[in-house]
Chain A
Amino acid sequence: MGDSENPFGELLQDYVLECLPLAEQVADAFVELERRWREGDPADTLLTSLAGRLHTVKGNSAMMGLVPMRETAHALEDACALLRQQPECRNDEAASLLVAGGSLLVDLVRDASAELDPAPAARFVERVRQWLAAGGAPAADTQPERRRAERRGAEAPADPDKAANVVRVDFRRLDAMLEVLGEGLIQHAALAEAYRALAPRARAGPELARLDHAVVALEKTLKRLESTLMETRLLPISTVFARFARMVRDTAEAEGKRVRLVTAGGETPLDKAVLDRLSEPLLHLITNAIVHGIEGGEVRRQGGKPDEGSVRLEAAPQAGRVVIRVSDDGRGLNEQAIRKKAEALGQELRDGETVPLRNLIFLPGLSTAERVSTLAGRGVGLDVVAGAIHTLGGTIDVATAPGRGTAFTLSLPVTLAIVRSLIVEIDQERYALPLAHVAETVRAEPEAIREINHRGVAQWRGGLIHVADGGALLGTARGRPEPRRYYVVMSAGGKRRGLLVDRLVGHQDVVVKGLDAALGRPDVVSGTTILGDGRVACILDAVRILEGGRRAG
Chain B
Amino acid sequence: MPADGAPPGEGLLGFAEAMDASPAETAPAPGPELHLLTFVLGREEFGIPVTQVREVIRVADITRVPHAPAHVRGVANLRGRILAVVALRSRLGLPAAEPTPRSRIVVVDLRGRVLGLLVDAVSQVTKVPEASVVAAPEDVRSAEADYVTGVARWQSRLIILLDLEKALAPTE
Contact = CB atoms under 8 A, between A and B. Distances in A.
Q: Do A and B come from one complex?
A: yes
21 contacts: A429-B63, A475-B66, A475-B67, A515-B65, A515-B84, A516-B84, A517-B171, A518-B86, A518-B168, A518-B170, A518-B171, A519-B68, A520-B171, A521-B172, A528-B63, A528-B75, A530-B77, A536-B63, A536-B74, A536-B75, A536-B82
A183 B78 CA distance: 12
B116 to A, nearest CB: 10
A145 interface: no
Contacts of B115: 516, 518
Interface string A489-516: 0000000000000000000000001111
B67 A522 contact: yes
B80 A182 contact: yes
Contacts of B80: 179, 182-183, 186, 530
Could you tell me the dominant secondary structure of chain A's interface residues? Answer: mixed
Contact of B66 (A516, A536, A538): A538
A88 B132 CA distance: 79
A417 B77 CA distance: 18
Nearest to B171: A520
Interface size range on A against B: 20 to 34
A25 B75 CA distance: 43
Contact of A1 (B65, B112, B172): B112
A522 B61 contact: no
A536 B76 contact: yes
Contacts of A186: 80
A551 B66 CA distance: 11
A430 B74 CA distance: 13
Contacts of B9: none
Given A474-B67, A520-B68, A537-B63, 18 more contacts: A1-B111, A182-B80, A429-B64, A473-B66, A514-B82, A517-B113, A518-B69, A518-B84, A519-B68, A519-B72, A520-B172, A523-B67, A525-B67, A530-B77, A530-B80, A535-B77, A536-B77, A536-B82
A138 B111 CA distance: 55
A534 B62 CA distance: 11
Contacts of B64: 429, 476
- Of B72, B80, B112, B113, the most chain A CB neighbours within 10 A belong to B80
A474 B91 CA distance: 22
A476 B63 CA distance: 12
Contacts of B68: 519-520, 522
A521 B76 CA distance: 18
Given A179-B80, A514-B82, A534-B77, A519 B111 contact: no
Interface in B115-129: 115
A524 B67 contact: yes
Interface string B71-100: 010111100111010100000000000000
A508 to B, nearest CB: 15
B66 A522 contact: yes
A513 to B, nearest CB: 5
Contacts of A537: 63
A229 B86 CA distance: 34
Contacts of B66: 473-476, 522-525, 538
Nearest to B74: A536
Contacts of A520: 67-69, 72, 171-172
